[in-house]
Amino acid sequence: MSLIESAAWVELQSHAYYMSQSHISTFFKEDTQRFEKLTFEQKDLLLDLSKQHVTPETIKLLIQLADERSLAQWIESLFGGEHVNNSEDRPALHTALRTPDTQKLLINGKDIINEVHANLDQMDKIVERIHSGEWRGFTGHPIDTVVNIGVGGSDLGPLMACKALTENQSEPAKKINVHFVSSMDGSQLSELLSQLNPARTLFVISSKSFTTIDTLANAQTAKEWLKQSSQSTNEDILVARHFIGVSANPSKVTEWGIPEEHQLQFWDWTGGRYSMWSTIGLPIALKLGMRGFKELLDGAHSMDEHFRHTPFQNNLPVLLAMTGIWNINFLNINAHAILPYDGRLSHIPAYLEQLEMESNGKSVTRDGQAVNYKTCPILWGEVGTNAQHAFYQLLHQGTESVMCDFIVAARRYHTTNNPELQHQHQLNLANCLAQSRILALGDSVLDGAENSPAHKRYKGNQPCTTLMLDELTPFTFGQLIALYEHKVFVQSVIWEINPFDQWGVELGKTVATSMMNALAPNNEDHEFDSSTNGLLSRIAEKST
């Protein structure tokens, strides 16, 4: 039976018609225990769904849909190493990357948990060499700056985590400056190199395939900068002292010139957007120290265990995912705003854009059939207090329905004696709670609002989720990111799509490679569409 013909789907459609007649604010008036009924916890993370356009009956029906689509079996398949990535015929074992070494998981006769921890041990040794000052550049001075060169999952996850957890650095880690370069045009790298000391700079080239043109172009520029700065004629020694390669394709790393002892590996069953838990997380370990990195893994593993073993009615990833299904497929909401009320989480919207839209931005099922229902919505976001001065006007008074995730830490600056910082945190919390309240409930919560002119009214009824961390730490950050990973998987099961491939990004890269010939000087032997031909002519004209 197809998804939209299933009994639970049909019942949810009827329920949606009934629910659409009510405003979120009425649910609070009718049930004083609404917060208690629709709030869920997993250790230091709280999920509040009470400002969503749902009732406990909605949750019950959504769980019936999850049961109908065999979600429990799919979860076991994911954790058990079955080939849930069917288009590439391999498992998706990012959960294994944060599994303790006391456990085992045999894949093709190999204990991959043992292999994971062997790689972590190798990464630990590299981190210790750099933090201790033992790793030295071409002049013999210790390395004090690390530049991660990567793109997509090799950049967004580590960049996000380093920004989020800066306040959790170990003392040795504070000696190391960590930078990130991803742009193909060289603008980031060019600006950064002008500020760095080549003798004390180490480059980490992070690429699953080690064939990504964006990354290799930046790496080659960095190598040339070092050669010119050092005036060295021995490229092998220069690369050995100033480059580390992180890849699932070690032969390509060796071919590029990086010696085996300066390589870190991961596996083809680790998707790029799920790879920050692997040795791709080297910049995180350098920024925090290995202890902080392992706390991050522990937080993610804690959410893994919760996801795998908790009944769906109390399972945070399942509830977050199924509420999204409700909004997208039954309330016809196709826009999703990510609103962290914490400047340290400024990169989480970009990370989730990739995680969700690259995973579930699909229109073909696992069986190769075109879907006849909506899948992943458009995601975007910004730090909440900045977004208030940017696009909240649309959220409050525009014509689009938008589901909103508010992410905030309950506690911050509690160990400082600076009352002004503590006041700023209270101000931030006040804005977070106020905005989610008005977006969901509208101005009905204010006395006399009905007398305001139309252009000052706030209709509300925008469904809002609040994710509240007790405090932002490596552990709770790991919980949060793993929560979203599992949310994506749950939705993919309901939609019958593969969240672990990304064929939609491949053709553009192939065509771009062929376009390089057309951009060569004096090359007029090409024939594209009239727009591309015109733009190529313009480029040639302005480049002479």
Helix (H), strand (E), coil (C) string for 68-132: HCCHHHHHHHHHHCCCCECCCCECCCHHHHHCCCCCCCEECCEEHHHHHHHHHHHHHHHHHHHHH
Residue 245: CA atoms inside 13 Å, Cβ hemisphere, count? Answer: 26
Catalytic-labelled residue, pool 37, 43, 110, 509? 509
- CB-based contact 333:327 (threshold 8 Å): yes
Contacts of residue 467, Cβ cutoff 8 Å, sequence gap at least 6: 45, 46, 47, 48, 405, 406, 407, 408, 480, 483
Residue type, position 306, single letter: H
Looking at the predicted structure, is the pLDDT value of residue 294 above 80? Answer: yes
For helices 7-19 and 56-68, the axis angle rounded to 10 degrees is 160
- CB-based contact 41:452 (threshold 8 Å): no
pLDDT of residue 517: 85
Looking at the predicted structure, is the pLDDT value of residue 234 above 90? Answer: no
411 or 506, higher pLDDT: 411
Quick one: pLDDT band at residue 55, thresholds 50, 70, 90?
very high
Token pair recorded at residue 301: 């593993």
Element (H, E) at 16: helix 7-19
Catalytic-labelled residue, pool 309, 389, 455, 542? 389
How far apart CA 45 and CA 182 sit, in angstroms, is 32
pLDDT of residue 402: 98
The percent of residues in the chain predicted with pLDDT above 90, rounded, is 88
Strand pairing report for 110-111 and 106-107? antiparallel
Residue type, position 424, single letter: Q
Element (H, E) at 405: strand 403-411
How far apart CA 537 and CA 526 sit, in angstroms, is 11
- Name residue 41's beta-bridge partners: 46
The C-alpha R_g of the chain, in whole angstroms, comes to: 25
Quick one: pLDDT band at residue 168, thresholds 50, 70, 90?
very high
For 450-500, the pLDDT digits (tens) are 889 999 999 999 999 999 999 999 999 999 999 999 999 999 999 999 999
For the chain, how many helices (H) and strands (E)?
A: 22, 13
Catalytic-labelled residue, pool 358, 382, 485, 496? 358
What does the pLDDT average to over 337-352? 98
Token pair recorded at residue 84: 């849930």
Contacts of residue 423, Cβ cutoff 8 Å, sequence gap at least 6: none
pLDDT of residue 543: 85
Average pLDDT taken over every residue of the chain: 95
Is residue 396 part of the annotated active site? The answer reads: no
How far apart CA 305 and CA 71 sit, in angstroms, is 16
pLDDT of residue 365: 97
pLDDT of residue 421: 93
pLDDT of residue 73: 98
Is residue 60 part of the annotated active site? The answer reads: no
What does the pLDDT average to over 503-526? 84
pLDDT of residue 17: 95
- CB-based contact 468:46 (threshold 8 Å): yes
Is residue 509 part of the annotated active site? The answer reads: yes
Residue type, position 100, single letter: P
User: How many other β-carbons are positioned within 10 Å of the β-carbon of residue 404?
Assistant: 25
Q: Per the confidence metrics, is the pTM higher than 0.85?
A: yes
Phi-psi region of 110 (alpha: psi -120 to 50; beta: other; left: phi over 0): beta
